């Protein structure tokens, strides 16, 4: 399937995209973000389909995209998303955008009683289009530049059918007398906000092997667990990528901790000992 898309990473491209988007009565909106490797989700792409072209904005290019604030907050443009509450949260967090007049295809289909609610399933059901995406690209390193043509094509795909799907679902909701109920659901989605992760202070007790620890080791594990959370928050890195649960457990068992024993007894890599070893020793010696 041929898709018309444009990679927006310069002021000139941004201005061209803005002229098209500002005229569109309905737009499709999607994002690509990394919530796997980061403590806070990192917005990597913002895709907007005007009905003529899918524009892929690069949030890492330091572009001024404040013109979208008028589009997202305005009532004259319908913003079509699919299960877009996280997209909205992140866009609010990063750009202080507000949202009005959204249409969530996932919410609409659920109200209509659809059992399969993935975007691909809805496109097949309501638009009779054979729509498939390459799952291997779902966890692409979207923050890496340059992106490949294959990645950009994948990113553009999700917005291509959103406008047509919106029209079909709107018609179905109207026939079913569910437009008011849908509007209430959409309003709730538009009002969501982003919140920082909160640590479960008892979470260390659920690490497999906790019950085998001595009282002293449990206390060390508790301190290590707190340190890891704060470290991840400070450097914006996924907790498991700092030190895994089982590594925390092994470190807590270390009786006489040294940089060497963190490798030989706890099984940490040299890289992790280089990065965090001295901090870990300070915690273990408290």
Which of 141, 158, 190 is a domain's end point?
190
CA distances from 6 to 46, 87, 152 (A): 12, 20, 9
pLDDT in tens, 95-153: 999 999 999 999 999 999 999 999 999 999 999 998 777 777 777 899 999 999 999 99
- At 244-283, the pLDDT tens digits run 999 999 999 987 889 999 999 899 999 999 999 999 999 9
| Domain end call among 156, 190, 224 | 190
Distance, in Å, from the CA atom of 257 to the CA atom of 265, rounded to the nearest integer, reads 9
196 domain residue, yes or no: no
* Domain enclosing residue 258, as ranges: 203-284
Is 85 buried (19+), middle (13-18) or exposed (0-12) by CB count in 10 A?
Answer: middle
Regarding whether 174 and 53 lie in a shared domain, the answer is yes
pLDDT at residue 1, as a whole number: 57
User: pLDDT tens, 215-249?
Assistant: 999 999 999 999 999 999 999 999 999 999 999 99
> Looking at the structure, do residues 9 and 146 belong to the same domain, yes or no?
yes
Q: Are 169 and 213 members of one domain?
A: no
- What's 58's domain CATH number? 3.30.420.10
Residue 231 belongs to a domain: yes
One domain for residues 146 and 245: no
Average pLDDT, the chain: 95
Same domain, 153 and 54: yes
Looking at the fold, whether 33 and 134 belong to one and the same domain comes out as yes
**Helices 270-284 and 215-235, packing angle to 10 deg:** 120
Last residue of a domain, one of 165, 190, 215: 190
Do 13 and 56 sit in the same domain of this protein? Answer: yes
**Residue 149: exposed, middle, or buried by beta-carbon count in 10 A (0-12, 13-18, 19+)?**
exposed
Rounded distance, CA 218 to CA 215, Å?
5
User: What share of the chain has pLDDT > 90, as a percent?
Assistant: 92
Mean pLDDT of 173-178: 98
More confident position, 214 or 285:
214
In a domain, 197, yes or no: no
Q: Give me the pLDDT at residue 146, please.
A: 95
Pair 276, 227 in one domain: yes
The pTM of the full predicted model, rounded to 2 decimals, is 0.91
Domain co-membership, 114 together with 243: no
Q: pLDDT class for 209, splitting at 50, 70, 90?
A: very high
Rounded to whole angstroms, the Cα distance separating 266 from 278 reads: 14
Tell whether 185 and 207 lie within a shared domain: no
Q: For residue range 16-42, list pLDDT tens digits in order.
A: 999 999 999 999 999 999 999 999 999
pLDDT of 207 reads: 97
My answer on whether 113 and 248 are in the same domain is no
Q: Considering the domain boundaries, does residue 58 fall inside one?
A: yes
Could you give the CA distance from residue 248 to residue 213 in angstroms, rounded to a whole number? 12
Residues 59 and 86 both lie in one domain: yes
Instruction: Give me the pLDDT at residue 255, please.
Output: 78
Number of compact structural domains in the chain: 2
């Amino acid at each position: 399937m041929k898709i018309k898309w444009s990679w927006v990473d310069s002021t000139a491209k941004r201005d061209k995209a803005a002229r098209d988007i500002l005229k569109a009565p309905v737009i499709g909106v999607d994002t690509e973000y990394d919530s796997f490797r980061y403590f806070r989700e990192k917005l990597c792409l913002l895709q907007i389909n005007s009905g003529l072209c899918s524009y892929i904005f690069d949030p890492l290019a330091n572009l001024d995209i404040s013109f979208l604030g008028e589009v997202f907050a305005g009532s004259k443009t319908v913003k079509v998303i699919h299960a877009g509450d996280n997209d909205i949260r992140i866009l609010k967090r990063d750009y202080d955008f507000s949202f009005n007049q959204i249409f969530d295809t996932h919410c609409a289909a659920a109200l209509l009683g659809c059992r399969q609610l993935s975007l691909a399933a809805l496109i097949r059901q309501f638009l009779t289009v054979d729509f498939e995406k390459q799952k291997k690209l779902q966890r692409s390193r979207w923050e890496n530049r340059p992106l490949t043509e294959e990645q950009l094509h994948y990113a553009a795909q999700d917005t291509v059918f959103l406008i047509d799907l919106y029209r079909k679902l709107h018609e179905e909701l109207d026939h079913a007398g569910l437009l008011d109920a849908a509007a209430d659901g959409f309003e709730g989605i538009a009002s969501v906000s982003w919140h920082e992760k909160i640590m479960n202070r008892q979470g260390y007790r659920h690490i497999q092997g906790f019950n085998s620890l001595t009282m002293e080791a449990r206390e060390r594990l508790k301190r290590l667990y707190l340190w890891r959370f704060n470290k991840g928050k400070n450097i914006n890195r996924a907790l498991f990528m700092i030190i895994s649960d089982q590594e925390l457990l092994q470190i807590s068992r270390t009786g006489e901790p040294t940089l060497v024993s963190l490798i030989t007894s706890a099984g940490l890599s040299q890289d992790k000992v280089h990065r965090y070893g001295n901090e870990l020793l300070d915690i273990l010696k408290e």
